[in-house]
Amino acid sequence: MNDHLDIANLPSLAEAGFSGGRDNFREFCRTIFRLDEPRFLRNDQNQLVVFRHEDLQAFGTAPQIGNLPIGKLYPARFTSDGSPARGLGSGVADVISSQVFTFNPPLHGPARQILIDWLGPKQIAVLEKVGRQAAHAVLDQIQHSSPLDFVSAIAERLTISFWSSLLHLTESEADTIGACTREMTRLFRLGRNADDLQALDLAFAEYARILDDVATRRLAAKDPDLTAIAEKLATLRSDDDPFAVGVAPKSVGQLLAGNLVDGFHTTALATANTFCVLARDPNA
């Protein structure tokens, strides 16, 4: 698809043979379904009209419209034929490539459903209990009479405690992931340099290694949640296409690492920002 889709310059429905009624609709469909190239049309109001599912999918996977696939997000990670390439940022790309927000149809829907089945609305009641327990555990360890750094003392520890409980992390694993997530903050810097990229690659690689070890251990222990994820992951049917569709995770560990970046890191930032706003509001 072109970088800019000028709807006003697209063929009109009338030019494609559609007069607005049902009399010639069958012949019109024969025409547009016979063409190999995506056929984008416009109506009299210059609104986009798409009939064929194949065209709709092509439109939805365009980077201007759909999710940004990993090959577009990290173009240096892949060669022109889609094969892997290494360089600064590769460690980050390896992890992010398993995130559902880099997937487009037909991969996005089934992969997203795997996560919803695990962490969706139906599981909120259970997750709330885990969250409350994590919050109480963190607060019980705080010296209330002493000043503290909210980010490191509460926000980071709260999210780490939550996922540690859910995934059965060891204390050492939780501490290491905590250190990794602090390094991940470099990802939000507008002017990242080579040192930042190198630190990010190391942090993401170590974070992914730990979650892969955790997944392997919990699967061996017949963890019901991760076993269900493994079974569903095995049913994903999509050829890797880093520039349009995405790259399907090849293991439970990869799926966890890619999609829990926000759970570990971004949630901690959101928690800190939320409390910062509340602290500034005397009526909160």
Residue 48, classed as helix, strand or coil, is strand
The predicted pLDDT at position 111 comes to 95
User: What number is the average pLDDT over the span 249-271?
Assistant: 89
27 versus 261: which is more confidently predicted?
A: 261
pLDDT digits (tens, 9 = 90+) for 68-80: 889 988 888 887 7
The predicted pLDDT at position 70 comes to 92
The predicted pLDDT at position 2 comes to 47
Split at pLDDT 50, 70, 90, the class of 57 is low
Rounded CA-CA distance 129/131 in Å is 5
- Of 70-74, 147-151, 190-194, 213-217, give the lowest mean pLDDT range: 147-151
Split at pLDDT 50, 70, 90, the class of 154 is confident
Split at pLDDT 50, 70, 90, the class of 4 is low
Split at pLDDT 50, 70, 90, the class of 87 is confident
Enumerate the domain spans of the chain: 7-60, 70-280
The predicted pLDDT at position 1 comes to 45
271 versus 162: which is more confidently predicted?
A: 162
User: Residue 5 burial by CB count (10 A; 0-12/13-18/19+): exposed, middle or buried?
Assistant: middle
The predicted pLDDT at position 167 comes to 95
Residue 173: C-alpha distances to residues 170, 177, 178, 198, 253 (Å): 5, 6, 8, 21, 14
Cis check: omega of the bond before 38, within 30 degrees of 0? no
Which value, to the nearest 10 degrees, does the dihedral of the CA atoms of residues 84, 88, 92, 98 take? Answer: -10
CATH superfamily of 70-280: Cytochrome P450 (1.10.630.10)
User: What number is the average pLDDT over the span 212-216?
Assistant: 98
Which value, to the nearest 10 degrees, does the dihedral of the CA atoms of residues 153, 159, 161, 167 take? Answer: -160
Residue 137, classed as helix, strand or coil, is helix
Rounded CA-CA distance 160/121 in Å is 21
Tell me the range of 46-60, 159-173, 263-277 where mean pLDDT is highest: 159-173
Maximal CA-CA distance, the chain: 81
